[in-house]
Amino acid sequence: MAEEAGMFTVPQTIGSVLCCKCGVPMEPNAANMCVKCLRSEVDITEGLQKNVIILHCPECDNYLQPPRTWIKAQLESKELLTFCVKRLKNLNKVRLVHAEFVWTEPHSKRIKIRLRVQKEVLNGAILEQAYIVEYVQQENMCESCTRVQANPDQWVAAVQLRQHVSHRRTFFYLEQLILKHDAAVRAIKIKQMDQGIDFFFSNRSHAVKFVEFVGKVAPIRSRHDKQLVSHDSKSNNYNYKYTFSVEISPICREDLICLPPKLASSLGNIGPLVICTKVTNAIALLDPFTLRHCFLDADQYWRVSFKSLLTSRQLVEYIILDLEPISSEVNIGGSKYVLADCQVARVSDFGKNDTIFNIRTHLGYLLRPGDYALGYDLYGANSNDIELDKHKRLNIPEAILMKKSYEEKRHRKRGKARPYKLRSLNMEVDESQSRADQEKMSSEYEQFLRDLEENPEMRFNISLYRNKEYQPSEVASMTDGEDLPSVPLEELLADLEISDEEDGDESMRE
């Protein structure tokens, strides 16, 4: 400012003094010594640890944080750097400025960290110095890995997931939720059973946490028992094996339900014939004739514990002959519904009879004349449900449509690869299954994949990965039709590489 105004300014020069030790000119400081002489006189790293021994588990890649805590950290990660710095003693005598890894051979069992510290020395001068700390990595298996190595089948807690239905579509979906949230990462063994899956854990707390996770994604009821394995009367130590029995509600999506009279009355006289549209930790029910809906949580369901009147395995294919909407569009839970009166006929009756049904459906927004739909044939069904007999003067419709059918269009794409893949748990499967059971499971898994393609809400909660072997064909895309539901490529994850060496617990399924 003074130079711009044309004023005279006295130039300021920084004076220099001679070092009292070596006589080298330098800028004045409180100690009157240069940096080299000051470091030769004072070592601020004296008394600080430069060699530390850390314990590492080679099986689970964890490090022991005394006294008994094991933490997981990758090489040259922030977690490992924080762990190593906290292991140093007397570091509070200096001020830590910077810490970084020094590269070492991965198989050398050595970790080196360069630390830069500051400390006030002679007459208030602050000296900064860098030094290297070497950590010697000693291999020592943790308690859980030791137990597994001694006896791989030695588990402490077991969770038995069961659902008493005739299909496994619920477990296919639950498997994807478990993989996305890493809920079974602590399981030492997973075994596929007849009507469910068994999970084995080395710690009771891991099993409790897993049961809590299942309770957040499905309506369940559970009970637990324990069995004494051994005890030491002198030290008062007892070893137990814990078993958690978890039962999932038999109500599944797209099931037809006849509500008990008391429950229907408590829900505002809904139904009593309703369909299940969604199952999470609560059951979403919809009246297909009035578009009234309600939700049942796990406590409400198990208090009454009703069963399905008809399940998705009993769906029959219909063709829409005529359709006339009678209500405006209604959005329920992200799905659009429109009440409509329609004329339908069973596809199996073509060429045999002229039976036509006049029914009301909630799928007026989705269906058009000439479309195919899957529904429940109540006209030819022989139902002996107890709850249905309790409702007097109940007008039972001839058919209830559930969803649009794409069987004819899928028939042309049969045998072609899908653009996505799913992960699967590393489960022990009973190899003594008959060929019929294997074909049944394959068909159920195929139906589960079709449900994923038709329902975006189901895809929202799971992770789908891009299939690198998939090569789209322009000719096939023109002949398959535009209305066939599929998974958009934007929803697929591409950054996944799974090999047997990197991850032995998971595999990919198309």
What stretches of 87-220 show up as alpha helix (H) in DSSP?
143-150, 169-181, 204-217
Task: Name the nearest CA neighbour of 498 among 471, 472, 470, 467.
Answer: 467
Q: How far is Cα 201 from Cα 203, in angstroms, rounded to an integer?
A: 6
Q: What pLDDT score was predicted for residue 1?
A: 54
- Kindly compute the dihedral angle of the four CA atoms of residues 452, 456, 459, 460, in this order, to the nearest 10 degrees: -170
What are the sequence ranges of the domains in the chain?
17-142, 151-248, 255-412
CA atoms within 13 A on the CB side of 97: 10
The arrangement of secondary structure in 17-142, i.e. its CATH architecture, is Roll (3.10)
pTM over 0.85: no
pLDDT digits (tens, 9 = 90+) for 318-372: 999 999 999 888 888 778 899 999 999 999 888 788 889 999 999 999 999 999 9
pLDDT tens digits along 203-239: 899 999 999 999 999 999 999 999 998 888 888 888 8
Q: Beta strands 420-425 and 506-509: pairing type?
A: antiparallel
pLDDT bin (cut points 50, 70, 90) of residue 158 is: very high
Kindly indicate the confidence band of residue 68, based on its pLDDT and cuts at 50, 70 and 90: confident
Distance CA 364, CA 401 (A): 10
pLDDT tens track for 106-135: 888 999 999 999 988 777 778 888 999 999
Categorize the per-residue pLDDT at 413 as very low, low, confident or very high, splitting at 50, 70 and 90.
Answer: low
What integer is the mean pLDDT of 456-471? Answer: 81
pLDDT of residue 402: 92
How much is the pLDDT for 481? 47
Extract the tokens encoding 434: 């008959």
Beta carbons within 8 Å of 8's beta carbon, 6+ residues apart:
none
Contact between 209 and 185 (Cβ < 8 Å): no
